[in-house]
Structure 1
């Protein structure tokens, strides 16, 4: 019986060409796991989001103005002032009120348009394009279009319609507190309903057709199929649409700034416009940062609703 002696493995081969194991692990992570491809995004993300977020927190703790002067550390004084500021609460109320007025019609209209586009067989592409196309328009174009429509004169389409049915024209759509917010809501609904429409349409197309066929064989009418099949299967999509819509409505700025400027008497001014005024008109960047982070905490709280609701539904379904 003979024993074959094995030659010793060189140290360079045992360690992968002289590289230590840690270096080989890092290299494998960059090449095999795709980190080299996401590195540019991570760099831009850290530079334009993470760093401004951190620096904004530091700025909110100082008395810094727009010129960079006066950056003394004052602790939580800006936050205490913001909580006592009635303008903050009135602007926040306008933002919440706009969210309430716009969310319901945007969700209902999005679902209704999706149902129509899903069941209309003739020129489906035309309906889908028509209902989604306004969402692609810039905010300036949309606001200018609606300003021409509701302009209080013979030129405005709204006043012409009122005069055609025998009503008194000349309503101050943007100059009257009773109609200014409703005008902004109507503009927003027409402009952004296409996004919700697209989400609902995709969810409708994912519902198996055999469910409707079986229900129709059992004698279920259109209303019963909608109530007992369509709406329950769209529950998760509706939750997603609600959260996304509330978050989008809370961040209202463009429409109000371009159409009313926050008026009349600040009745339509949202919280983001108040932050803009404090930072770039009042030159109080530290105070504006504090108000914006209070609003950020509100948005963060709302954004956590969807995961909590989904988890609760999953737990109830498991039981």
Structure 2
């Protein structure tokens, strides 16, 4: 009798109940989502729309389609600022990545001096761009600057770094590397502290040297952090603006004028809002392509 009832009960179709919607999670993310839509998505869409128009700060005159982008393609000044930006990214991103890892390896010790040095190297990151550029302008001055005094002490002619078209961008890159080095160092330190100590102990028992340990244990362990550091630095360094604007005003002869400074001058000084918005979309596309290319290459290496 019991078996018969259990079979009949099992044959009765179960009524599916709708799961109650968990509104707590949606309410939790609602403030951030609202700010994200208001401060990020909406300006992005407005910028895309403005790039297809002709207008100034008083309003939009008319829709011009891809005319602004065609004008950018034929603008020699814009091609030059694109090259300047790419050149700056090539100078800074690999250097920040390598130096950040080197500093993290050198300071990855639980000692008082290591903590003090980590604080010193990270302290430059919290400075404003105005303070950083003021300090480094004094360093690069040929008359009375630090490098100028060193050159004269060595019997050499001081070099006008910021007035030389070949040296101005490397000077700005040096300034930026000194300013931004703290972030990749901290990220690498956090990654290194997550590597199990047992791996290093096993490598030491097997007789592995420092370089072997670095290539076989440390670098594979921080591979994801390296990808994060490179992507972050690509996004940050493509947005170069304050350093050349305060140190060289984009000169000499446009040698240090980046895309963001071009956008600022076009939109706020020449009042060509649509043209500036088109340049901003080109910059956004360049950042996306560079970041996604790095992510794709790193992902392929991990799968291999």
- TM-score computed with the length of structure 1 as normaliser: 0.85
Tell me what 2:82 maps to: 92
- For the pair 1:79 / 2:69, whether they are aligned, the reply is yes
* CA-atom RMSD in angstroms: 1.8
Per-residue deviation, 1:159: 0.8
- For the pair 1:160 / 2:170, whether they are aligned, the reply is no
Tell me what 2:292 maps to: 304
Per-residue deviation, 1:148: 1.6
Q: Give ranges in structure 2 of 5+ residues lacking alignment.
A: 1-17
Tell me what 2:129 maps to: 139
2-side partners of 1:146 and 1:314: how far apart?
A: 40
Contact residue 243 and residue 305 of structure 1 kept, 8 A: no
- TM-score computed with the length of structure 2 as normaliser: 0.89
Per-residue deviation, 1:48: 1.8
- For the pair 1:148 / 2:141, whether they are aligned, the reply is no
- For the pair 1:30 / 2:62, whether they are aligned, the reply is no
Contact residue 234 and residue 287 of structure 2 kept, 8 A: no
Per-residue deviation, 1:314: 4.5
Contact residue 240 and residue 306 of structure 1 kept, 8 A: no
Per-residue deviation, 1:246: 1.9
- For the pair 1:176 / 2:164, whether they are aligned, the reply is yes
- For the pair 1:267 / 2:255, whether they are aligned, the reply is yes
1:59-78 superposed matches below 5 A: 59-68=50-59, 70-78=60-68
Per-residue deviation, 1:120: 7.1
- For the pair 1:239 / 2:227, whether they are aligned, the reply is yes
Count of matched residue positions in the alignment of Structure 1 and Structure 2: 287
1-side partners of 2:252 and 2:121: how far apart?
A: 31
SS at match of 1:206: coil
Per-residue deviation, 1:119: 3.9
SS at match of 2:283: helix
Write the deviation string for residues 141-194 of structure 1: whole angstroms up to 9, x where unpaired. 11111112222212x11111112222222x211111121111101100100011
SS at match of 1:196: helix
